[in-house]
Amino acid sequence: MTQSMMEKHPLAQANWVLVLLTIALAGLGLINLYSASAVRLGEGISVDSHFQKQCLWVLLGAGCMLICMFFDYRRLISSAEPLLLLSIALLLLVLFTGGTVRRWLPLGPVNFQPSEAVKISVLLVGAKILSRGKDPLNWKELGGVMLVGLVPAALILKQPDLGTAVIVLLILGGMILYRGVKIKIIKVCVLVLILSPVALVKLVIPNLLDYQRDRILGFVNPEKVNPDSIYQNKQAKIAIGSGQTWGKGYLEGTQSKLRFLPAKHTDFAIAVFGEEWGFAGSVALVALFCFFLLSIYATAREARDSFGSIFTAGVFFYFFWQIFVNIGMVLGMMPVVGIPLPFISYGGSASLVNFCLVGLVLNVSMRRFVFRAV
Amino acid sequence: MLINIQEEYQPPRHSLPLLQVLVLAMFCVLVLRFWHLQILQGEQNMQRAYANRWREQMVHANRGLLLDSRGVILAENRPSYAVSLVREDCRDIPATLAKISQWTGEPLSKLERLYKNSLEERVPSFSPLALARDVSFEQVARIESQLVNWPGLIVESQQRRFYTYGEMFAHVLGYVALANSKELETYAGLRRGDSVGKQGLELVLENRLRGTKGVTALEVDALGRPLLREEKTSPRSGEDIRLSLDTDLQRAAMTALGKRAGSVVVMEPESGRLLALATSPAYDNNLFTGRFSPSAWNSLRNDERHPLQNRAIQSVYPPGSVWKLMMAAMFLHEGVNPDETVNCTGEFRLGNRVFRCWRAGGHGKVNMRRSLVESCDVYYYQTADRLGIDKLTGFAQTAGFGHPTGIALPSEKAGVVPGREWKLNMRGESWQRGETVNASIGQGYTLVTPVQIAVYVASLLNGGRLMKPLLLRDERPEALGGTPSTEKERAFILEAMRLAVEGRQGTARSIRRADALLGGKTGTAQVVSLGDTRQKPEETRYEYRDHAWMATWGAKGDKKYVVVALVEHGGGGSAAPVVRAVYDHLFAPETAAARGRVAALGYMPRQDVLNDAATDEAIRNSRQWEKFVRQAPDRYERE
């Protein structure tokens, strides 16, 4: 068996299911984005430039994906730390050059979000540190890994971008759990989780910015806060709910076409999808995402070294948290935080990163049998 | 060959199920939530989405016109201009508001308040907000030339209520003005910025005049911009309503009153329809429909002459000798023999109080007819004193006094019919005999409105029915009560009234005319007691001068009218010229009112007691009248 595997070209070993699912998701994303970029004028519709731009981003992303496939991913181990330092430097640059909201770095015609680069480098450095040794992590090791996430997360929080900061930590947390920690640490963490709501109310909430607080409080108690901050959530729920079983039909969504739905091409793009394709379409899309995640999981399971496996698990969590938080937020189950939905939401930097990560997972899957033969 | 340099890697044992469980949990949670929103609450969310984008917009409905009995327009709608702001198109709201203020002279604070209110009431950003209403044509011309520099500003054409004759009908028509919050709650379909009836018939007939707004459904986007328009219902104009009033007659009455304070009521006795309801001084009700400054309002309200008061129904006066029409009817009804005489020496003594007759020397022997014709006070002092106050109170109340006549205008006064109970309730004192004597000639506590007198005089002519005074031409006549007088008793009073006009000693001789039958009773209501001295009106201070009454009826052909005039502080006799002018109009050959067919009159007073021959053959030939003449004296002589 191994013999025959070895003889095949690495491409034959690639996770082709993941490729197909990625193409399906990116295609659905473009189809939906066409609708989400459109507004009704009288009886016709007008599509803005977001759709065309996203087409370009997807093509660029596909290119990046290919590049990410055709080198040995283990080469990244050595460049992980420099990448992290570079992205932290970019974060600092954004912080010191921008205005009140400092998330983008203007790069010629486009804006680059350093926080996206941070996600990749945290993944790499995290995977590198976690792949040393086999035993469950002890406090000291855990602290070292957490530091890798906490520093950039703090900087991202300063931008301010609460959602991305939390996602970075969640990805790292997922990787740590995947790697395994001592039972004692898990016990302590559970205790902290129980106590954290108290800390949240006493320490975190008073220090948040007004709009962040409003969104979170708006989620907990919709009647009590500024109506504008719960408007998004309300309109998103109406949009999705009014799709009912079969949806209003492609390009027929009224909530999105008449601009009731805010951020309809970015964070709330799935509300457009839900409105036009209904429950049937929504379940199909969620199922597609689940298969996508499971096919990443397959690669994590089959990876031939611990770096590849933990890195792939990190990619799994990268997608998992974004999908879960974004859809949960649009469905009104979580506070409104600016997390895009992979492949469905418009966004250049995010698209590139998504494709690069899929490319790296394919890279891992391609090389799972290399060196295995004796 | 490549060499495996590492042991075969196995992922941590616990971690693979962890990922699978996470994916499964996410799938379940999200699908459950989608199901909740799209299936369970789907219908509800569908409706919310619908309500989000479909707005209803009201389309203005014209207010109904008010016309006089012959179709002359009394209240109509005229175009007026408003400077309005369309919020979404406006770049600099504060500067624009300041500019409007500068152009139109509206205070900036008022504009800012209007603007703030519109935000609070969530007026859509695309719908124009009228900031300055009723802008003059010259201002509009100037503003329009500069409009291009002020995006978001438009000049809107609106409708403004216009009252053709202003002061002449102000108290009857009332006026419309911008609806306040309370009225917005009261009337369905009323929106802020709409006008609503505030006074008079505009208020009473509000629901008929207003009409129904049309509804246009508007599909809008989240910014409120309209995308599609669908008319759901078209607007329905309010009803045009004809009044029973006659413009020419009203003008004649107003002209006759001139600058004096007072009122004239002209009524058709059979139906209770009012042909004129004049009150003076009046105000221009057009002032209220446009921009009305608080200072103008205050000066009207604080005017010593009370121009806002409708004196025909909202002012009460002592009836004076006009009251004798009611008193004599009461005496007859109580069985007093009209031929029984009272010796008038010019005064009536009760204990140590002296009540004087208006004629200082007295009238000598006076029967009931003469007491009415010559208005002898002592006859009433003595007879009322004998019968007692309760009879007076009871009869006056059944004759329509002491309660509103039911005219369809706001704030009608009830007047006062004094009595034992009334005095006990109002003053906590028992009734004094002297007060009966005072009440018998319509002084003391007695208070009536001119329209009450008109209704009572009409009842003498229409068979004793107390008709509701009607202001609308097509309203069904309605009797709200009846006097207990018999036909003959009423005829007696009418005859005496006729004699007061036609007889040599009649107090109402000044209104006598050759072309019609007239009956009348004068009245002089004392405002203050001046003791024994009788002063000429010109020598008395205005507020102390007597009110002058004249209650009359006139007939020509098949037309019968009741005309009542009151002149405040006019001094005795000043009402007669007013009544005369009204009859001049009613019976003038060129007026429509005079062009009646000469026909059977119903009962009319006796021909033989008239000093001047009646000119109208028809009256003499009336068979009903003959019958009446034969029967009436018999009865009284027998008793």
DSSP, residue by residue, B373-394: HTT-HHHHHHHHHHH-HHHHHH
For residue A241, the chain B residues in CB contact (below 8 A) are 37-38, 41-42, 44-46, 48-49
**What does the pLDDT read at residue B630?**
37
pLDDT higher than 50, residue B608: no
The Cα–Cα gap between B156 and B496 comes to 63
- Give φ, ψ of B383 to 5 degrees: -70, -40
Tell me how many domains chain A contains. 1
List all residues of chain B from 587 to 616 with a beta carbon under 8 Å from chain A: none
Residue A246 resides in a domain: yes
On whether any CB of chain B is under 8 Å from the CB of A220, the answer is: no
- The three-state (H, E, C) secondary structure of chain A, written as one string: CHHHHHHCCHHHHCCHHHHHHHHHHHHHHHHHHHHHCEEEECCEEEECCHHHHHHHHHHHHHHHHHHHHCCCCCHHHHHHHHHHHHHHHHHHHHHHHCCCCCCCEEECCEEECHHHHHHHHHHHHHHHHHCCCCCCECHHHHHHHHHHHHHHHHHHHCCCCHHHHHHHHHHHHHHHHHHCECHHHHHHHHHHHHHHHHHHHHHHHHHCCHHHHHHHHHHHCCCCCCHHHHHHHHHHHHHHHCCCCCCCCCCCCHHHHCCCCCCCCCCCHHHHHHHHHHHHHHHHHHHHHHHHHHHHHHHHHHCCCHHHHHHHHHHHHHHHHHHHHHHHHHCCCCCCCCCCCCCCCCCHHHHHHHHHHHHHHHHHHHCCCCCCCC
Give the model confidence (pLDDT) of B135-163 as tens digits. 888 888 888 888 888 888 888 878 888 99
Under 8 Å between Cβ of A242 and B48: yes
Nearest to A259 among B3, B12, B223 (CB): B223
The Cα–Cα gap between A24 and A27 comes to 5
CB atoms within 10 A of CB A170: 19
CB atoms within 10 A of CB A339: 26
By C-alpha distance, the chain B residue nearest A314 is B19
**What does the pLDDT read at residue A352?**
92
- Print the domain residue range for A210: 2-41+56-366
For residue A238, the chain B residues in CB contact (below 8 A) are 45, 48-49, 52
**What does the pLDDT read at residue B426?**
87
The Cα–Cα gap between B620 and B630 comes to 13
DSSP-derived secondary structure letter, B470 = B
On whether any CB of chain B is under 8 Å from the CB of A244, the answer is: yes
pLDDT higher than 70, residue A223: no
Report the pLDDT averaged over residues A11-20: 88
Nearest to B37 among A41, A237, A287 (CB): A237
pLDDT higher than 50, residue A60: yes
Give the model confidence (pLDDT) of A171-212 as tens digits. 999 998 888 888 888 888 888 888 877 777 777 777 777 777
pLDDT higher than 70, residue A52: yes
Tell me the percentage of chain B whose pLDDT exceeds 90. Answer: 28
Give the model confidence (pLDDT) of B208-230 as tens digits. 998 888 888 878 777 667 777 77
Q: Which of these ranges, A50-54, A106-110, B156-160, has the smallest mean pLDDT?
A: A106-110
User: B19 and A274 in contact by Cβ < 8 A?
Assistant: no
pLDDT higher than 80, residue A43: no
Tell me the percentage of chain A whose pLDDT exceeds 70. Answer: 89
Residue A252 resides in a domain: yes
Looking from the CA of A24 toward its CB, the CA atoms found within 13 Å total: 15
Residue A372 resides in a domain: no
| Band (B623; pLDDT cuts 50, 70, 90) | very low
By C-alpha distance, the chain B residue nearest A374 is B3
Report the pLDDT averaged over residues B295-322: 87
Pair of tokens at residue A140: 């000291």
On whether any CB of chain A is under 8 Å from the CB of B157, the answer is: no
Nearest to B12 among A41, A180, A327 (CB): A180
pLDDT higher than 70, residue B301: yes
Residue A374 resides in a domain: no
pLDDT higher than 70, residue B605: no
Under 8 Å between Cβ of B418 and B445: yes
- Give φ, ψ of A134 to 5 degrees: -120, -20
Helix (H, G, I), strand (E, B) or coil at B243: strand
List all residues of chain A from 289 to 328 with a beta carbon under 8 Å from chain B: 290, 293-294, 297, 300-301, 303-306, 309, 313, 316, 320, 323-324, 327-328
**What does the pLDDT read at residue B128?**
79
On whether any CB of chain B is under 8 Å from the CB of A364, the answer is: no
Give the model confidence (pLDDT) of B486-533 as tens digits. 888 888 898 888 888 888 888 888 888 888 888 999 988 887 655 444
Q: Which amino acid is at B588?
A: A
CB atoms within 10 A of CB B486: 14
Report the pLDDT averaged over residues B407-436: 89
For residue B17, the chain A residues in CB contact (below 8 A) are none
For residue B22, the chain A residues in CB contact (below 8 A) are 320
Nearest to A309 among B9, B22, B39 (CB): B9
Residue A371 resides in a domain: no
Q: Which amino acid is at B615?
A: T
Residue A46 resides in a domain: no
Pair of tokens at residue B524: 């002089």
Q: Enter the ipTM.
A: 0.90
On whether any CB of chain B is under 8 Å from the CB of A132, the answer is: no
Q: Annotate B600-633 with b (16+ C-beta within 10 A) or e (fewer).
A: ebbbbbbbebbeeebebebbeebeebeebbeebb
- Closest approach of chain B CAs to the CA of A360, in angstroms? 18
On whether any CB of chain A is under 8 Å from the CB of B25, the answer is: no
Residue A47 resides in a domain: no
**What does the pLDDT read at residue A8?**
65
List all residues of chain B from 215 to 254 with a beta carbon under 8 Å from chain A: 219-223, 227-228
Q: Which domains does chain B have, with CATH numbers?
A: 57-242 (3.90.1310.10), 247-291+308-638 (3.40.710.10)
User: A313 and B15 in contact by Cβ < 8 A?
Assistant: yes
Specify the pairing of strand B262-267 against strand B73-85: unpaired
- Closest approach of chain B CAs to the CA of A332, in angstroms? 9
On whether any CB of chain B is under 8 Å from the CB of A1, the answer is: no
The Cα–Cα gap between B359 and B346 comes to 6
Residue A325 resides in a domain: yes
Q: Which residue has the higher pLDDT, A269 or B612?
A: A269
List all residues of chain A from 332 to 351 with a beta carbon under 8 Å from chain B: 332-333
Helix (H, G, I), strand (E, B) or coil at B561: strand
User: B8 and A245 in contact by Cβ < 8 A?
Assistant: no
Report the pLDDT averaged over residues B69-85: 88
